[in-house]
Amino acid sequence: MDYEQPQSESETTPEPEASNEQNHKFVADPSSSTPTATTENPWIETLKTIGLSAVLAFGIRSFVAEARFIPSGSMLPTLQIDDRLIIDKISYRFANPVRGDIVVFNPTPQLEKENYKDAFIKRVIGLPGDRLDVKRGKVYINGKILSEKYLDEAPGQDWSTTDTETSGDHPVAWPKDGRVPEGHYLVLGDNRNNSYDSHYWGFVPKDRIVGKATLRFWPIKRVGGIDPQPDYK
């Protein structure tokens, strides 16, 4: 079956940062003999509050969590265009991604060569040491069929990590043993036939993974957890 490579896609876009906290004041203890501090210029207080808020927002976004929205359909039907998500950036500091996780990652070295700069979002399918085959519309991990109930459409192209190279316009050689290397992951879009993912450009190093998509906060009618952990048994 012919399989058309998707056009260049911007996978996730950061939500604009906002920081505007109320300035909380403390009342001086009347029983204290310490002189009361003189009142500071309100403009200075406001600037300090805004500055502190910005620092806190930057710290949270850099190390704890961040918001992203989805501009493309590569993860349909699980993630819809314009969905707003919270990305957990803490978990993978203490544990490795597991099969079925939906992850945001920065462009891999191969994608950087193709001039991609924006982050991608895909589902982890292959773990370190796995060998993966796609044939007759099914994904096989180490020879066993992977049950994927989250797909609307079966993969339309047969391929394997035991092939010589990936399928993209800039093919990358698969490992000789066909297995995902240590510290790397194979990721695929849920919209399997319209996703620029690992079978085009190879594996994702763990150090490129930003975090795990955990919560959808927009649209209101679909607020909540994104996807229960798939049962692959």
| Vertex 69: Cα angle to 67 and 75 (nearest 5) | 120
| Residue 121 · residue 220 · CB < 8 Å | no
Cβ atoms within 10 Å, residue 180: 25
Give 19's contacts (C-beta < 8 A, 6+ positions apart).
50, 53, 54, 56, 57
CA distance 82 to 171: 31
Catalytic residue numbers read: 74, 122
Nearest CA to 210 out of 86, 42, 88 is that of: 88
| Count of CB atoms situated within 10 Å of the CB of 73 | 17
Q: Give the Cβ contact number of residue 146 at 10 Å.
A: 17
What span, in angstroms and rounded, lies between the C-alpha atoms of 73 and 12?
A: 11
3 state SS of 200: helix
Contact 78, 121 (CB under 8 A): no
- Ramachandran class of 137: left when φ > 0, alpha when ψ lies in -120 to 50, beta otherwise: left
